[in-house]
Each structure stands twice: as structure tokens, then as C-alpha cells.
């Protein structure tokens, strides 16, 4: 009686690969000596060629470069959006501040006749009692909103902030000088609301 010689695997031709395909059916892994699970098989199919690995690597690098480009573009868009938002906030704050200044200036201009009456009463010593308290509180409120009263005797005449209502000459001055403030001026940090109305004197010319 003849016995078939034992073998550890079987070989079959794989028409798709063009070569033999070996399947190891041994239950003990010859390398690790561990028991294999039922149905587990060791295939000796050839590993992918280096050319295929290069193609996979190139495709992965191309995809990574594309994703990096997309990320950088998204970051640039976010940066531009952030800059536009910051510019909008600054512009809005500036516009709100300007609107507040314009409102305070408009109110002060409307109150200038009242302020002139207060100053006139002060010059004549009539600013007393409750009227004085109200007047001082009104003036303090205007200062708090950036409204400045200006004009003083002895300062140099400046046509951009002074308005001459009276004019004369004096040997005591060397340049056009405010001799008396008839009505004080009012201004904000940006503009003159009403120039100070003054009497101005020029130096006397040389004697002939």
C-alpha cells in the first residue's frame, strides 16, 4: 500500500498574477509557534513592488500638499476677516465719539446766549444765591463734555480765535493784544464754537 507524502501547503496557479500562489495550511505558525485560528492561512503572494509604493507615497504627498494649501488659504481668509472686523470696530467707535462731540457742541452753541447772560451777571456782581449755584453747575457740566470757555485780557490777539469788536493803539504793547474781553469764546478740542469778542490794541507807530 502506498501513502501520499505529507505536505504543509498547496500551490495553485493564479492566472491573474502570472505565477504560483502558495497557501500554508499548517495549524502551527512556523515562525512564532503559535496556534493559528481555524481558516487562517499564510499567503506567499508577492509583496507590492517598489514602483507601487512610490505611487502611493507620491499620491499621499500630493494630498498633503493640497490640504496644507487649503489650510493656509483658510487661515488667510480668517486673518483678513479679523482685520476687517477690527477696522470696523475702530471706525464705529470713532464715529460714535464724533457724534457725541457734535451733540455736545450743538448743545453748547444753543446755550451760548444763556452763558453770556451768566458772564454779564458775574461782571456786575449779580451772580449770587441759587442763581449762582445753577450757573456754576451748568458751566461745570459743559466742561465735563469738553466745552472750554476762553479769552483773557493781555493775551496776544489771534484772528482764528478772537473777534475784534473794538480797536485802538497803545504804547504799552509790542504786538496786537487783547485789551478787554467783551464776551468770552467757547470751543471744543476740534473747533471754535464762538470766537472771543474782544477790544484789541495795536502798538503805536513811530512818531513823525
Q: What are the structural domains, with CATH classification, of the chain? A: 147-208 (2.30.22.10)
What percentage of the chain carries pLDDT values higher than 90? 41
Question: Within a 10 A sphere around the Cβ of 85, how many other Cβ atoms?
Answer: 10
Q: Could you read off the pLDDT of 38-47 as tens digits, one per residue?
A: 555 555 555 5
CA-wise closest residue to 46 among 66, 63, 68, 22: 22
DSSP-based three-state secondary structure for 120 = helix
137-142: average pLDDT: 92
pLDDT at residue number 186: 95
* Separation of alpha carbons 55 and 69, rounded Å: 21
Edge-to-edge strand order for the sheet containing 9-14? 9-14, 19-24, 42-43
58-82: average pLDDT: 90
pLDDT at residue number 160: 95
- The pLDDT confidence band at residue 33, using thresholds 50, 70 and 90, is low
Amino acid at each position: 500500500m502506498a501513502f501520499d507524502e505529507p505536505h504543509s501547503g498547496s500551490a495553485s496557479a493564479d492566472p491573474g498574477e502570472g505565477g504560483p500562489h502558495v497557501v500554508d495550511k499548517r495549524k502551527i505558525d512556523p515562525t512564532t509557534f503559535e496556534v493559528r485560528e481555524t481558516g487562517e492561512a499564510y499567503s506567499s503572494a508577492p509583496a507590492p513592488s517598489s514602483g507601487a509604493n512610490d505611487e502611493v507615497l507620491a499620491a499621499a504627498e500630493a494630498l498633503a500638499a493640497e490640504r496644507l494649501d487649503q489650510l493656509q488659504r483658510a487661515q488667510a481668509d480668517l486673518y483678513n476677516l479679523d482685520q476687517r472686523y477690527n477696522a470696523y470696530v475702530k471706525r464705529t467707535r470713532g464715529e460714535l465719539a464724533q457724534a457725541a462731540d457734535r451733540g455736545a457742541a450743538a448743545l453748547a452753541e444753543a446755550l451760548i446766549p444763556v452763558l453770556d447772560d451768566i458772564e454779564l451777571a458775574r461782571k456786575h456782581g449779580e451772580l449770587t444765591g441759587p442763581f449762582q449755584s445753577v450757573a456754576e453747575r451748568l458751566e461745570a457740566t459743559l466742561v465735563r463734555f469738553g466745552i472750554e470757555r476762553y479769552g483773557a485780557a493781555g493775551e496776544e490777539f489771534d484772528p482764528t480765535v478772537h473777534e475784534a469788536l473794538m480797536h485802538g493803539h497803545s504804547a504799552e504793547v509790542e504786538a496786537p493784544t487783547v485789551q478787554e474781553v467783551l464776551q468770552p469764546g467757547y470751543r471744543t478740542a476740534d473747533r471754535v464754537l464762538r470766537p472771543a469778542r474782544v477790544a484789541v490794541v495795536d502798538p503805536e507807530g513811530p512818531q513823525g
